[in-house]
C-alpha cells in the first residue's frame, strides 16, 4: 500500500496532478449545475411540480441519495478550493511582474479565475445557509410547508437578488474558462476538438447564467409567484 | 526614427534592478531590433558607460538565445518571430518601447536582460531523450513511421528552447516547453519504450525547478516564435496521468 | 619547412578505415573511466563526441560559450545532411559520395579522410533516426531524400529547412542524458582562453566563467577542440555573433599548425547588406536557385536608376536584362556551384551593374516561375523562405524580385589533423569545422553536418584510444606549473585589454578589420591586395591595442571584454589567413587568385571545356596542405607541407559549362 500512497502523494504534489483534481471536481460541478438548474426551473411549472420534485429528491434512496450527493459535492468543493488556492500561491511565487505587462490572447475570465472562484465560494456558503440550512427562522418555517414559497419569499430581498446576480455572472465567467480548461487538463482536448470545446464551454456557461438568473429576476422584477 | 527605451538594468544576479530610460535616436527603419540596441550600446560605450547586456547569437531565429520582453510580450507582439527577427520598421517614430528580461523565478536574471535558463537543460537531462548508444542503431528505414506522425513530431520538435512560453505565462509555467519536448519523443515509435519514465521524470524535474502551473490561457502558444500548439499540453497531461496511474497500480 | 605525416593507414582506399579500426588500440572498460577528456564546443562535432565518449565510459568535461549546448551554431544549418544510403535506388554509393566530395573540394582534401566520411555517413542517419530526429518521410513511412547542391543523386536527408537544428537537438539530448548519468560535466557560458601544454602534450585548458569572470584551469588526459569556424574574421557573415577563432588560435599559438586558412566559402544566396549598422548576414536556402532566375541590368544606367529608386525591376524589359549565370554556364545555369555563382555576382556588381542601394546585390527573380507554375506552387515550395525574406527586408518577393549577394558562410581551413584527427600537437584532437580535413578548398552543400557528426559519433571514439593508450591516466593535474603559467598569461591579457582605456568600441575595430579582409581576401584575391592587407592588419591591430575602449570590469559579465578577446585574436589570425592566401599562387575552390584564371589563350577555353575567367589550379606546385606554424604575432608563419596523394582519383578541371 505504501507504493500506492506514495504515487497518490506524488500525483497530488505535482502540477498536473493537482490540476487534474481541479478539473475532475470542476466537472462534478458542471454536471451538478445542470441537474440543479433543471430542478430549479420547475419553479416556472408551478408550486406543485416544484414541491413534488423537492420531496422526490429528498426521498430518493430512502433519503440517502441526497446525502451522498451532498458529501460528494462538499468533498469536491473542498478539493477544488484547496487545490486551486495552492496552485495559485505557487503561481504567484513562480514569477515577479513585468514593469509593463501585456497579453496576446488570455481571456478576461481566465485572468480572474481565483477571484470569480472565491466569490462563488462565498455565494455557495451563503446559498446553503439561506436555502439549505435555512438560518432565517421565518424562511425555515415557510420552507417546511412549501419549498416553492421559500424560493419566492427568499428572492423578495433586493440584496439577496443583487448578490445572486453578481455571483451568477462571475460563475458564468468562471465556467467559460473552466469548462474547456477541464478537458484540456484531462487531456481530452486536441487540435480537432479544442475550439469546439471552447465554444461548448461558452454556450454552457451562458445557459447556466441565463437559467439561474431567470428565477430571481422573474420573481423580484416581474413579480412571478406573488 | 527616434525612440524612447525603457530598459531593465541590473548590475548582477544579486543586485537590485531598475528601469532606466534611454533615447534611441536616428535609428534606420531597416535595422533589426538587436541592431537598434547595438546602436544604443555604441552610444553608451562612447560615453564610457556599460552597454546594455542581452543574450543573442545566431540572429536568424533558430538558436533560441535572444530573450527580450518587448512592450510586455516576449519577442514583441509580432507573430511567430524571435527578438532577433523583429525589425524597427514595425515601430512608430517617437514610440516608447519597454524592454525587460524574460521573467520567471526559474530564470534568474544574471545581468540586465540576460537570464539563466539552465533549468531547461536540467529538464531535458531528466528524461528528454531517447537512450540509444552510439553505433547500436538499426537501419534507419527498418521502422517505417507514418508521414503524419513524423510531421506531428517535427512540429513539436521545432521548439528552440527560448523560454518565451515561460516568459509569456503569468504563472511562469514551462508546460509548453516540456510538452513539446516530451510530445516529440513520446509519439515516435523509437520513443515509446521510455515514454512513461520520460514523462514522469520531465514533469517532476519541471516542478522541482519552480515553474508555475498551467492555467490554460494559451499565452505561451501565442508568444511561441515557432507556433508550437498547446495541444501538446493536453497530450502531456494525458501521458502524465496514464504514467502516474501505471506507476501506482501496475 | 618540414613534411607532415598524416598517419593514413595502408591498403586500398575502401579498406583503410576498417583496417585502421582493427589495428587501433583499445582501452578496457574498467580503465576508460580513469581517463578524462576535455571537449571544447558543443555543436554537432563536440556534442556528439562528448556524449559518445561518455557512453564509452570516459570522464568528460564539455565547455561552451552559449548558455546551453543546444545553441551551438550547427543549429542554423538549413538544407540537409548527405549520406550514401542509396535509398532512392538512383545509383548512389559510398564511392560516388566520396567522388563528389573530393571533386567538389577541388582536389585539395585528403583522399582517405573523404572516403571515410562517405563511409560512415550511413551510420549517422541510423543513429540520428534512432535518437528521434524527425527527418522528412514519404507517405509509406520511409525516409525521404532530395538532391542538393547540384548533386546528380538524391542523397540528402532533411528535416524541413531545420536539419541542423534537429540534428543538434538529438545530439544535445544525448549529451544531457550523459550529464544526468554523471559521465559529462557541462560548463555553459565558459569560454576557453588558453590551451595548456605539458611536456609537448595538450593536457588542459584555461577558461573564463562568463557570468562571474572567474578564471579556472581544467586538466585532462586529452583535449578535443570542436569550436567551429572562423568566418567572423570578416565581421559580416552568416555565422552566429559569438562564433570565433579563439580556441583554435590559442591552440595554434601553443604549437598546433593551422592548415589552409585561405579556404573560405562564400555563399551566393544571402540577403544583401542594408547599412553600416548591420550585424550579420542571413542566408537564404540555395534551393531558391531551382526556380529563381538571377539577373542584373545590361546597362549601368539602368542599374543606377534602380539603385536610386527611379526604376523598378519590372521597368527593365527582358532584352535589357543580363541573366549572367545562364549566359556563362548554359548547362548549369542558375544552379552553378557556390564559388562560381558568388564570383559571377561580384563581377556583375564590380562592373557597376549591382541593384541594391549599396550597389552590392543582384536580382533573384521568380516572376517567370510564378507565371509558369502559379503563385500557389511557388508558395508551397518556398513559402517560408519568402516569408523570412519579407520579414527582414519588408519587400514581397511574389511581387518584386528578391535581392541577393554572396556572404561568408563556412571555412574549410582549420587546425591540421592526421587521420586520427590529432593535431601535430600531441594530445590535441580537432573535430568538425575547426579542423581542415574533409572539404578541401570548397565544401558541398549538406556536407558540414555530415562531417561534424562523423567526427564526433564515429571517428574520434575509435581513434582516441590510439593516443590515450600511450598515456598514463591522470598524471597531469592543474597543480602543474604549465597551468599556472597559462592562467597568468590569460589574466595578463585580460588586464592589458582592460588597461587600454581608449576611445573606440570593439565593434568598430571588428568592422574595420572585417571590411579589409573582405576587400582583400574575399571573393577575389590579388598579390598586391594581400600584401596591402598584411600591412594594414598589423596597423589596425596595433591601433586596437592602443585605442580600444572596454567599459566595466573583468569581474562579472562583460560582453565587451568577451568580444575584445575574440577580436584581438581575429587580428592575429587575419594575418595568417592573408599570408596563406598570398602564398597559394593558384586558384582553387573558395580561394580565387585573380592572377590565376583561365584566359582565351588556354586550350581548355578554346576547346569550350570552360570559359575564360574560371579558377585555375596548379596541381604541379600546390597539391599540398599548407600547415602553418606560429612564429609570432603579425609575423610570417613557417610553412609545413602535407603533400596530397591521390591514389584513386586523378585531379581534373572542374567544368560547369
What digits encode the pLDDT tens for the residues B154-171? 999 999 999 999 999 999
Q: Tell me whether A196 touches chain B (CB under 8 Å).
A: no
pLDDT of residue C61: 98
C321 catalytic per annotation: no
Phi, psi of C326 (to 5 degrees): -65, -35
Rounded (10°) angle between helices B195-208 and A15-41: 90
Asked if pLDDT for residue B101 goes beyond 80, the answer is yes
Flag whether pLDDT at C1 surpasses 60: no
Residue B4: pLDDT over 60: yes
Q: How many of the other CB atoms lie within 10 Å of CB of C526? A: 16
Asked if C615 contacts C569 with a C-beta cutoff of 8 angstroms, the reply is no
Task: List the 26-55 stretch of B: residues with Cβ below 8 A of C.
Answer: 28, 30-32, 34-35, 38-39, 42, 44-46, 48-51, 53, 55
Secondary structure E strands in chain B: 3-9, 18-24, 68-70, 73-74, 96-101, 109-111, 114-115
- Number of other CB atoms surrounding residue C400 within 10 Å: 16
Q: Which residues contact C182 (CB under 8 A, 6 or more apart)?
A: none
Residues lower than pLDDT 50 in chain A = none
Compute the count of residue pairs across chains B and C with CB atoms less than 8 Å apart. 219
Q: Which CATH class is domain B3-111?
A: alpha beta
Instruction: Give the residue from A21, A99, A177 with the most B CB atoms within 10 Å of its CB, the best one to mutate.
Output: A99
CATH of domain B118-249: 1.10.1060.10
Name chain B contacts of A103, Cβ cutoff 8 Å: 72-73, 168, 170, 217, 219
Domains observed in chain C:
269-407 (3.90.700.10), 481-630 (1.20.58.100)
Q: Quote the CA–CA distance of A126 and A136 in Å, as a whole number.
A: 11
Half-sphere exposure of C263 (CA within 13 A, CB side): 30
Residues 6+ apart with CB under 8 A from C552: B50, C558, C560, C561
Decide: C133 and C159 in contact? Cβ < 8 Å.
yes
Considering only CA atoms, which of C519, C527, C285 is closest in space to residue C402? C285
Sequence spans of domains, chain B: 3-111, 118-249
The burial class, CB within 10 Å (0-12 / 13-18 / 19+), for C152 is exposed
Q: To 10 degrees, the CA torsion angle through C511, C514, C519, C525? A: 170
Between CA B151 and CA B135 the distance in angstroms is 26
Share of chain C above pLDDT 90, in %: 89
Tell me how far apart the terminal alpha carbons of chain A are, to the nearest angstrom.
60
Mean pLDDT, chain C, whole residue set: 95
A with C: touching (≥3 Cβ pairs within 8 Å): no
Please list every residue in chain A whose beta carbon sits closer than 8 Å to the beta carbon of residue B69: 98
Segment B176-234, tens digit of pLDDT: 999 999 999 999 999 999 999 999 999 999 999 999 999 999 999 999 999 999 999 99
pLDDT of residue C151: 81
Residues with Cβ within 8 Å of residue C607, at least 6 apart in sequence: none
Question: Average pLDDT, whole number, for chain B?
Answer: 97
Chains linked to A by 3 or more Cβ pairs within 8 Å = B
Residue C260: closest CA among C514, C440, C527, C525: C440
What value does the mean pLDDT take over residues C451-473? 98
pLDDT digits (tens, 9 = 90+) for C609-628: 888 888 999 999 999 999 99
Instruction: Name the E strands within C21-80.
Output: 36-40, 59-63
pLDDT at residue B219, rounded to an integer: 98
Q: Annotate chain B with DSSP letters as a single string.
A: --EEEEEEE-SSTTSPPEEEEEEE-S--TTSBHHHHHHHHHHHHHHTTPPPPP---SSSSSSS----EEETTEET-SSTT--GGG-BGGGS-TT-EEEEEEPP-TTS-EEETTEE--HHHHHHHHHH-S----TT-PPPTTSS---HHHHHHHHHHHT-----HHHHHSTT-B-HHHHHHHHHHHHTSGGGGGGHHHHHHHHHHHHHHTT-B---S--HHHHH-TT---THHHHHHHHHHHHHHHHHHH-
How close, in Å, is residue C569 to chain B by CA atoms? 19
Test C392 with B118 for CB contact under 8 angstroms.
no
Interface test mutation site (partner B, options A95, A176, A179, max chain B beta carbons within 10 A): A95
Amino acid at each position: 500500500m505504501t507504493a500506492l500512497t506514495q504515487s497518490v502523494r506524488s500525483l497530488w504534489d505535482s502540477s498536473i496532478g493537482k490540476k487534474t483534481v481541479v478539473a475532475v471536481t470542476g466537472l462534478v460541478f458542471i454536471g451538478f449545475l445542470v441537474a440543479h438548474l433543471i430542478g430549479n426551473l420547475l419553479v416556472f411549472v408551478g408550486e406543485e411540480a416544484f414541491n413534488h420534485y423537492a420531496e422526490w429528491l429528498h426521498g430518493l434512496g430512502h433519503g440517502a441519495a441526497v446525502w451522498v450527493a451532498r458529501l460528494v459535492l462538499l468533498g469536491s468543493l473542498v478539493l477544488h478550493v484547496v487545490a486551486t488556492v495552492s496552485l495559485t500561491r505557487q503561481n504567484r511565487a513562480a514569477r515577479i511582474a513585468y514593469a509593463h505587462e501585456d497579453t496576446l490572447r488570455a481571456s478576461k475570465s481566465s485572468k480572474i479565475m481565483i477571484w470569480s472562484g472565491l466569490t462563488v465560494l462565498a455565494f455557495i456558503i451563503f446559498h446553503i445557509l439561506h436555502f439549505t440550512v435555512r438560518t432565517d427562522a421565518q424562511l425555515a418555517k415557510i420552507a417546511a410547508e412549501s419549498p416553492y414559497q421559500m424560493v419566492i419569499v427568499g428572492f423578495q430581498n433586493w440584496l439577496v437578488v443583487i448578490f445572486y446576480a453578481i455571483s451568477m455572472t462571475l460563475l458564468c465567467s468562471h465556467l467559460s474558462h473552466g469548462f474547456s480548461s477541464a478537458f484540456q487538463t484531462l487531456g481530452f482536448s486536441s487540435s480537432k476538438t479544442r475550439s469546439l470545446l471552447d465554444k461548448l464551454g461558452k454556450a454552457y456557461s451562458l445557459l447556466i447564467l441565463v437559467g439561474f438568473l431567470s428565477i430571481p429576476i422573474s420573481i423580484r422584477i416581474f413579480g412571478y409567484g406573488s | 526614427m527616434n525612440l524612447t527605451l525603457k530598459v531593465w538594468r541590473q548590475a548582477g544576479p544579486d543586485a537590485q534592478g531598475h528601469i532606466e530610460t534611454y533615447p534611441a535616436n536616428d535609428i534606420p527603419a531597416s535595422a533589426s531590433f538587436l541592431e537598434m540596441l547595438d546602436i544604443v550600446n555604441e552610444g553608451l560605450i562612447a560615453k564610457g558607460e556599460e552597454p546594455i547586456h542581452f543574450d543573442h547569437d545566431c540572429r536568424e531565429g533558430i538558436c533560441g538565445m535572444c530573450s527580450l520582453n518587448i512592450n510586455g510580450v516576449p519577442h514583441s507582439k509580432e507573430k511567430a518571430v524571435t527578438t532577433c527577427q523583429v525589425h524597427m520598421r514595425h515601430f512608430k517614430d517617437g514610440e516608447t518601447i519597454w524592454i525587460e528580461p524574460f521573467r520567471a523565478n526559474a530564470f534568474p536574471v544574471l545581468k540586465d536582460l540576460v537570464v539563466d535558463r539552465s533549468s531547461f537543460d536540467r529538464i531535458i537531462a531528466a528524461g528528454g531523450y531517447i537512450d540509444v548508444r552510439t553505433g547500436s542503431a538499426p537501419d534507419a528505414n527498418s521502422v517505417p513511421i507514418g508521414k503524419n506522425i513524423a510531421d506531428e513530431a517535427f512540429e513539436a520538435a521545432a521548439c528552440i528552447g527560448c523560454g518565451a512560453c515561460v516568459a509569456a505565462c503569468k504563472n511562469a509555467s514551462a508546460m509548453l516547453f516540456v510538452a513539446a519536448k516530451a510530445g516529440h519523443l513520446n509519439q515516435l515509435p523509437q520513443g515509446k519504450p521510455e515514454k512513461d519514465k520520460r514523462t514522469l521524470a520531465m514533469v517532476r524535474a519541471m516542478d522541482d525547478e519552480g515553474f508555475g502551473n498551467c492555467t490554460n490561457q494559451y499565452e505561451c502558444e501565442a508568444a511561441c516564435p515557432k507556433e508550437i500548439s498547446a495541444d501538446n499540453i493536453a497530450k502531456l497531461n494525458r501521458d502524465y496521468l496514464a504514467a502516474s496511474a501505471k506507476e501506482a497500480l501496475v | 619547412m618540414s613534411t607532415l605525416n598524416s598517419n593514413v593507414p595502408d591498403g586500398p582506399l575502401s579498406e583503410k578505415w576498417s583496417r585502421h579500426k582493427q589495428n587501433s588500440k583499445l582501452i578496457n572498460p574498467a580503465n576508460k573511466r580513469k581517463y578524462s577528456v576535455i571537449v571544447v564546443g558543443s555543436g554537432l562535432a563536440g556534442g556528439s563526441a562528448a556524449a559518445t565518449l561518455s557512453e564509452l565510459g570516459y570522464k568528460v568535461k564539455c565547455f561552451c560559450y552559449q548558455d546551453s549546448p543546444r545553441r551551438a551554431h550547427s543549429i542554423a544549418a538549413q538544407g540537409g545532411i548527405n549520406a550514401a544510403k542509396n535509398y532512392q535506388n538512383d545509383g548512389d554509393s559510398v564511392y560516388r559520395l566520396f567522388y563528389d566530395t573530393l571533386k567538389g573540394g577541388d582536389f585539395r582534401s585528403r583522399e582517405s579522410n573523404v572516403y571515410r566520411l562517405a563511409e560512415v555517413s550511413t551510420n549517422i542517419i541510423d543513429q540520428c533516426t534512432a535518437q528521434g530526429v524527425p527527418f522528412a518521410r514519404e507517405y509509406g513511412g520511409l525516409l525521404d531524400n532530395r538532391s542538393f547542391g547540384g548533386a546528380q543523386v538524391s542523397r540528402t536527408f532533411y528535416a524541413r529547412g531545420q536539419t541542423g537544428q534537429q540534428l543538434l537537438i538529438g545530439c544535445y539530448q544525448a549529451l544531457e542524458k550523459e550529464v544526468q548519468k554523471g559521465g559529462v560535466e557541462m560548463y555553459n557560458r565558459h569560454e576557453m582562453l588558453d590551451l595548456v601544454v605539458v611536456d609537448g602534450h595538450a593536457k588542459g585548458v584555461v577558461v573564463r566563467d562568463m557570468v562571474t569572470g572567474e578564471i579556472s584551469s581544467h586538466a585532462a588526459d586529452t583535449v578535443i577542440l570542436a569550436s567551429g569556424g572562423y568566418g567572423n574574421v570578416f565581421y559580416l557573415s552568416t555565422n552566429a555573433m559569438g562564433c570565433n577563432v579563439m580556441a583554435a588560435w590559442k591552440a595554434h599559438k601553443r604549437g598546433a599548425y593551422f592548415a589552409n586558412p585561405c579556404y573560405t566559402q562564400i555563399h551566393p544566396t544571402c540577403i544583401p547588406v542594408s547599412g553600416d549598422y548591420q550585424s550579420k548576414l542571413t542566408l537564404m536556402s540555395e534551393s531558391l536557385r531551382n526556380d529563381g532566375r538571377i539577373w542584373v541590368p545590361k546597362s549601368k544606367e539602368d542599374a543606377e536608376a534602380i539603385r536610386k529608386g527611379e526604376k523598378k525591376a519590372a521597368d527593365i524589359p527582358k532584352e535589357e536584362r543580363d541573366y549572367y549565370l545562364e549566359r556563362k554556364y548554359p548547362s548549369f545555369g542558375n544552379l552553378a556551384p557556390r564559388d562560381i555563382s558568388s564570383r559571377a555576382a561580384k563581377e556583375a556588381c564590380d562592373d557597376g551593374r549591382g541593384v541594391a542601394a549599396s550597389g552590392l546585390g543582384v536580382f533573384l527573380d521568380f516572376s517567370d516561375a510564378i507565371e509558369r507554375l502559379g503563385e500557389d506552387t511557388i508558395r508551397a515550395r518556398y513559402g517560408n523562405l519568402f516569408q523570412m525574406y519579407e520579414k527582414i527586408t519588408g519587400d514581397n518577393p511574389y511581387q518584386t524580385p528578391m535581392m541577393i549577394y554572396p556572404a561568408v558562410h563556412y571555412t574549410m581551413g582549420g587546425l591540421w589533423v592526421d587521420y586520427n584527427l590529432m593535431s601535430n600537437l600531441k594530445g590535441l584532437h580537432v573535430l568538425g569545422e575547426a579542423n581542415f580535413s574533409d572539404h578541401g578548398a570548397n565544401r558541398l552543400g549538406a556536407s558540414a553536418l555530415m562531417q561534424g557528426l562523423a567526427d564526433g559519433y564515429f571517428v574520434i571514439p575509435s581513434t582516441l584510444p590510439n593516443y590515450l593508450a600511450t598515456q598514463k591516466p591522470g598524471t597531469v593535474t592543474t597543480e602543474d606549473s604549465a597551468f599556472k603559467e597559462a592562467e597568468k598569461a590569460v589574466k595578463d591579457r585580460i588586464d592589458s585589454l582592460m588597461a587600454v582605456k581608449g576611445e573606440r568600441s570593439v565593434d568598430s575595430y571588428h568592422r574595420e578589420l572585417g571590411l579589409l579582409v573582405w576587400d582583400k581576401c574575399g571573393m577575389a584575391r590579388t598579390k598586391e591586395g594581400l600584401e596591402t592587407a598584411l600591412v594594414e592588419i598589423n596597423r589596425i591591430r596595433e591601433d586596437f591595442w592602443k585605442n580600444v575602449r572596454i567599459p566595466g570590469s573583468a569581474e562579472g559579465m562583460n560582453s565587451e571584454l568577451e568580444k575584445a578577446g575574440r577580436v584581438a585574436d581575429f587580428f592575429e589570425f587575419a594575418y595568417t589567413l592573408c599570408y596563406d592566401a598570398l602564398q597559394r599562387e593558384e586558384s582553387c575552390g573558395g580561394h580565387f587568385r585573380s592572377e590565376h584564371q583561365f584566359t582565351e589563350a588556354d586550350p581548355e577555353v578554346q576547346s569550350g571545356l570552360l570559359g575564360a575567367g574560371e579558377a585555375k589550379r596548379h596541381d604541379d606546385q600546390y597539391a599540398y596542405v599548407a600547415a602553418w606554424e606560429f612564429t609570432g604575432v603579425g609575423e610570417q608563419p613557417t610553412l609545413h607541407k602535407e603533400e596530397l596523394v591521390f591514389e584513386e582519383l586523378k585531379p581534373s578541371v572542374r567544368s560547369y559549362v
